[in-house]
């Protein structure tokens, strides 16, 4: 019961909910962790480490680049920059974007950029996650951080919804990117769907659906070494 497990996280649960389920199949004292949180509305690849020798490698995995497929909805902003947040702005007229509208914005955000994390994030401020300050109504200032967007590929665009694939560095908030797109187009926007396709060279295609993991099948899915 030691190794890595590639899991396809379903929508509607937290990353820790995945850990909680897997803990039920393990001896009580065994260590377990994951390589990067996905929000409840998000789906896709989670790398789970089981056992002390493997959880020690999680920091290395956190430094790997990521690939996502994202749906961005224009015309509505939320306080969390995603679909689970409270609406803070609605554009007064219907949104119908064209490729000529979005391509200059996509190109603007490629490369190394300065990005402000969402207020509802796990970014630590004075030792406390930013989302806890936000829930308490405390006013805080989040500092911008440099991240790298290696590639953004437009998949589909229909009226106010854009689907893109994004290859980015560690620490990139796709929610912030969606929000910044909306600001750049003066329409407002939020992240309405997110699917993590890859972490480094590890792909979602190799992941196991959470419902398929049981006490009996878990050992057969464990990987002793990852191709990072």
User: What DSSP string runs through the chain?
Assistant: --EEEEEEEPTTS-HHHHHHHHHTTS-TT--EEESS---TT-EEEEEEEESHHHHTTHHHHHTS-EEEEEEEEESEEETTSBTTSPEEEE-SS-----HHHHHHHHHHTSEEEEEPPPSSS--EETTEEHHHHHHHT----PPPEEEEEEEEEEEEEETTEEEEEEEE-TT--HHHHHHHHHHHHTS-EEEEEEEEEEETTEEGGGPEEGGG--TTTHHHH-BSS---
d(CA 46, CA 196): 8
The answer to which of 119-123, 154-158, 200-204 has the lowest mean pLDDT is 119-123
pLDDT-based confidence at residue 117 (cuts at 50, 70, 90): confident
- In the predicted model, is pLDDT for residue 210 greater than 90? yes
Q: What percent of the chain clears pLDDT 70, i.e. is strictly above it?
A: 89
d(CA 89, CA 179): 11
The reported pLDDT for the residue numbered 138 is 61
137: buried, middle or exposed (CB in 10 Å: 19+, 13-18, 0-12)?
exposed
d(CA 60, CA 158): 39
- In the predicted model, is pLDDT for residue 181 greater than 50? yes
pTM for this one?
0.91
Average pLDDT, integer, range 21-44: 93
Where do the domains of the chain lie? 3-63+202-221, 66-199
pLDDT tens digits for range 37-70:
899 999 999 999 999 999 999 999 999 999 999 9
Strand partners, 139: none
pLDDT-based confidence at residue 118 (cuts at 50, 70, 90): confident
d(CA 182, CA 162): 11
- Domain 66-199 grouped into CATH 3.30.2350.10: yes
The reported pLDDT for the residue numbered 227 is 75
Half-sphere exposure of 215 (CA within 13 A, CB side): 5
pLDDT-based confidence at residue 133 (cuts at 50, 70, 90): very low
What is the dotted CATH code of the domain comprising 3-63+202-221?
A: 3.30.2350.10
Nearest alpha carbon to residue 106 among 25, 166, 17, 21: 166
The reported pLDDT for the residue numbered 36 is 87
Q: What residues are labeled active site? A: 39
Average pLDDT, integer, range 203-224: 95
Q: What percent of the chain clears pLDDT 90, i.e. is strictly above it?
A: 79
Nearest alpha carbon to residue 5 among 17, 22, 27, 30: 22
The reported pLDDT for the residue numbered 226 is 87
The answer to which of 77-91, 116-130, 181-195 has the lowest mean pLDDT is 116-130
3-63+202-221 shares its CATH topology with 66-199: yes
């Amino acid at each position: 019961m030691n190794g890595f497990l590639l899991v396809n996280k379903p929508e509607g649960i937290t990353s820790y909910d995945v850990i909680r389920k897997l803990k039920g199949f393990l001896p009580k004292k065994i260590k377990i962790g994951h390589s990067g949180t996905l929000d409840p509305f998000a789906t896709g690849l989670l790398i789970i480490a089981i056992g002390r020798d493997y959880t020690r490698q999680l920091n290395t995995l956190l430094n790997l680049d990521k690939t996502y497929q994202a749906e961005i909805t224009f015309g509505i902003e939320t306080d969390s920059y995603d679909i689970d947040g409270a609406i803070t702005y609605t554009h007064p007229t219907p949104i119908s974007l064209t490729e000529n509208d979005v391509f200059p914005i996509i190109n603007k955000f490629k490369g190394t950029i300065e990005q402000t994390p969402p207020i509802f994030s796990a970014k630590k401020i004075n030792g406390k996650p930013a989302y806890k300050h936000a829930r308490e109504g405390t006013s805080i200032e989040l500092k911008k951080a440099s991240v790298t967007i290696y590639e953004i590929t437009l998949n589909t665009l229909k009226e106010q919804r854009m689907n893109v694939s994004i290859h980015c560095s560690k620490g990139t908030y796709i929610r912030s990117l969606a929000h910044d797109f909306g600001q750049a187009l003066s329409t407002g926007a939020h992240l309405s769907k997110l699917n993590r396709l890859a972490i480094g060279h590890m792909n979602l295609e190799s992941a196991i659906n959470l419902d398929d993991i049981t006490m009996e099948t878990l050992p057969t899915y464990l990987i002793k070494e990852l191709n990072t």
